[in-house]
């Protein structure tokens, strides 16, 4: 069977909004009175991006690589998960063509942060900022997003083969 040399991957994540935690989205700390609950730093966007990258390469999901029952990932910087994933993917001869993502949050207003978040993710992945797009949507005041109970993130990534398959 011929190989198209491209792979698509999808990622989704949700974390609960709680008081007394920092809000970190795409590696950027955001001024807000609440933050995301989780075993690691709960960076919902980096988790979705990591899952998209792992998925595109057929490498399972973030929970298999970094179980949230493992004490070593307590309060972990999620950049570590992302960097491990991209390293494994590059070792297998894949490179990211582009990455698109959406953050779903009623508050805070994320439009002032979209470009700095995209720049941070591009920097972590050693991509040009034009290869990374970050969108933000509210929950229209309904559902867990609209009631400010959670923040969700979606990500989709396209991998292209960078070295011939061996
Ligand atoms: Mg997560």
Ordered domains of the chain (ranges, CATH)? 6-161 (3.30.1330.50)
Residues of the chain with pLDDT under 50: none
For residue 2, what pLDDT is reported?
A: 65
Distance from the alpha carbon of residue 153 to the mean position of ligand 1, in angstroms: 9
Tallying the residues shown for the chain, one arrives at: 166
Distance from the alpha carbon of residue 4 to the mean position of ligand 1, in angstroms: 31
Distance from the alpha carbon of residue 42 to the mean position of ligand 1, in angstroms: 6
> Which residue shows structure tokens 């950049």?
79
For residue 1, what pLDDT is reported?
A: 60
Distance from the alpha carbon of residue 78 to the mean position of ligand 1, in angstroms: 9
For residue 24, what pLDDT is reported?
A: 98
For residue 163, what pLDDT is reported?
A: 79
Report which of 23, 49, 15 is spatially closest to residue 121, judged by C-alpha positions: 49
Distance from the alpha carbon of residue 40 to the mean position of ligand 1, in angstroms: 8
Distance from the alpha carbon of residue 34 to the mean position of ligand 1, in angstroms: 17
β-pairing verdict for 28-30 and 23-25: antiparallel
Report which of 8, 90, 6 is spatially closest to residue 55, judged by C-alpha positions: 8
For residue 3, what pLDDT is reported?
A: 81
Distance from the alpha carbon of residue 21 to the mean position of ligand 1, in angstroms: 15
State the DSSP H helix or E strand holding residue 97, giving kind and residue range, or none if neither. strand 94-104
């Amino acid at each position: 069977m011929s190989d198209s040399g491209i792979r698509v991957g999808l990622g989704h994540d949700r974390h609960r909004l709680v008081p007394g935690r920092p809000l970190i989205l795409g590696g950027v700390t955001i001024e807000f009175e609440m933050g995301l609950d989780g075993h690691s730093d709960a960076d919902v966007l980096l988790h979705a991006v990591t899952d998209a990258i792992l998925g595109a390469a057929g490498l399972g999901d973030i929970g298999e690589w970094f179980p949230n029952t493992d004490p070593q990932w307590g309060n972990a910087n999620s950049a570590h998960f992302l960097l491990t994933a991209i390293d494994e993917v590059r070792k297998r001869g894949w490179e990211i063509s582009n990455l698109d993502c959406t953050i779903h949050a009623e508050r805070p207003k994320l439009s002032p942060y979209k470009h700095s978040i995209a720049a941070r993710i591009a920097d972590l992945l050693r991509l040009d900022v034009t290869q990374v797009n970050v969108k933000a949507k509210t929950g229209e005041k309904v559902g867990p997003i609209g009631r400010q109970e959670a923040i969700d993130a979606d990500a989709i990534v396209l991998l292209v083969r960078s070295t011939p398959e061996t």
